[in-house]
Amino acid sequence: MRILFCGDVVGRSGREAVQRYVPLLRQRLNLDCVIVNGENAASGFGITSSICQDFYKIGVDVITTGNHIWDQREMMGSIDKDKRLLRPINYPATTPGQGYYLHTTAKGKTVLIINAMARLFMEPLENPFSAVDQILKKYRMPDHVHAIVLDFHGEATSEKMAMGHFCDGRVSLVVGTHTHVPTADHQIFPGGTAYQSDVGMCGDYRSVVGMDKDIPIYKFTRQLPPPERMKPAQGEATLCGILVVVKEESGLAEGLYPIRLGGSLEQTSLDILESYL
């Protein structure tokens, strides 16, 4: 089974990268499931129902989020209507929405997608390790599901790494989001779980983590309130994602491949990637 996870989508340029490359990747790599973190898709702050529908139309199966999930107020009343749009599972139980989703592929395989948020330098939510552990006790590979993907949204690399090892042997992929910078530590742990501390963003990298650089530079150099709100950079975006190849008999990973297409970062050769698969 082949599962693609794409990092935080930032603004219009990030959405355009997803719309351009996801259909291409689905076709060329024969993907079974596509997951996208969309929490910065609406002008850099949150996501809307309209954007979700646009993503579904071009081949995205599930959308994860993070600390910006409520930036667009409409989501408070609409997230319960869209089971494929997730918010972190460790929000209080009374919070609208859900933190996991069971996706059935075209081939009839079941993929469990979990969305959790870290706590170091983040909002003080409930313990993500306990929340994830509770779900993994309910759904096990390969007895209940064929694959499990965890989007762990957080700042601290140490907390993300701890979650990766905590889940080793129990999930197919633990992938970090939120910092918007792709890390070079993609690997498959001894227990068979694939891991990357941060997959990066789908956004313009000639920026400050996806935002037009002028306002962040103003804040860092002058230590004054900015004259206007930050806005996403509008240059060509790089789609940053990671492809995990899962053993169907166990749900564990047998291959892990970072993907970067478009924009200013070093590009992935799809011809070379296809030769590996």
Crossing angle of the two packed helices 49-57 and 11-28, in degrees rounded to 10: 20
Q: Is 68 an active-site residue?
A: yes
Q: Are strands 173-177 and 194-196 parallel, antiparallel or unpaired?
A: parallel
CA separation for the pair 98, 134 (Å, rounded): 14
- Nearest C-alpha neighbor of 2 from the set 186, 214, 248, 238: 248
Please tell me the distance from the alpha carbon of residue 183 to that of residue 219, in angstroms, as a whole number. 26
Q: Classify the C-alpha dihedral 23-24-30-32 as positive or negative.
A: negative
Residue 262, phi-psi category: left (phi > 0), alpha (psi -120 to 50), beta (remainder): left
CA pseudo-torsion sign 119, 125, 127, 129? negative
Q: Where on the phi/psi map is residue 200: left (φ > 0), alpha (ψ -120 to 50), or beta? A: left
Amino acid at 33: C
**Sheet architecture: strand order including 62-64:** 62-64, 33-37, 2-6, 239-246, 253-261
Residue tagged active-site, from 68, 146, 153, 178: 68
**Catalytic amino acids?**
68
